Every structure is written in C-alpha cells, then in structure tokens.
Structure 1
C-alpha cells in the first residue's frame, strides 16, 4: 500500500498536473470531489471559506431550471 501511495504522489506531483489559480474577492469555484483532487498552497492574511455539498441530480436540475443546461 505504501508503494501505491508513493507512486500516486509522484504522479500527482509532476509538473503540468496542477492548475494554480489566484483568487479575487467574490470569486467562486465549483468542483466535483469525485473527479478532482484539490489542495492549496500557503497563504497569509484572512480568508473566508464557505463549503457546500450537493448531489449531481439536484445540481443539474437547478442548472436546467436556470437555463444553464
């Protein structure tokens, strides 16, 4: 198991596999935790983080009602 984790970490750490975003106040990001590995680098100052969980069906329904799909 340790070998598998080491191999996964090595692959995930390769250059080009990460997308770094610089956040601006008021920005929002929606991610699918089943399809995306995410993390963050160090930061200074204050930040406000708000999380939410939903299932795919409810989210797609809301997008359809809003005319986004």
Structure 2
C-alpha cells in the first residue's frame, strides 16, 4: 500500500543521513616551549583542514615528552 491508500508501494527514495565520527591523532612536535608547539599544531591543523574540509582537528592535550637518547 502506498501513502495514498491504493496501488503499488511508493519506491524507496534516498534520504540524507548525517554521520559524525571522532578520530585520535598523535603528533610529536619539536618545539622550544608549549606556545611554539601549539603554534606548530595549529599550522598543521590548518593544512589538513584546507586539504580535507570535512576534518576538524582540535587540540585536546599538549604535554612535554621524555626523550630517551
């Protein structure tokens, strides 16, 4: 039954769906201080977002790592 009550069923049409996904990324940035590291990350994020506009990178954590060498 179609939406008018009689006849063949209405053909299923395409409908828009929204999908949201989260992704983790880890970068090692060589910088003199946290502000420099954040600036480097923002530059990297801008390059990624220019190439792939659907990707949005947000800085969640910035910490100094111990270098073992």
TM superposition score normalised by structure 2: 0.26
**Higher RCO structure, 1 or 2 (CA under 8 Å, sep 6+):** 2
More helix by share: 1
- Larger Rg: 1 or 2? 2
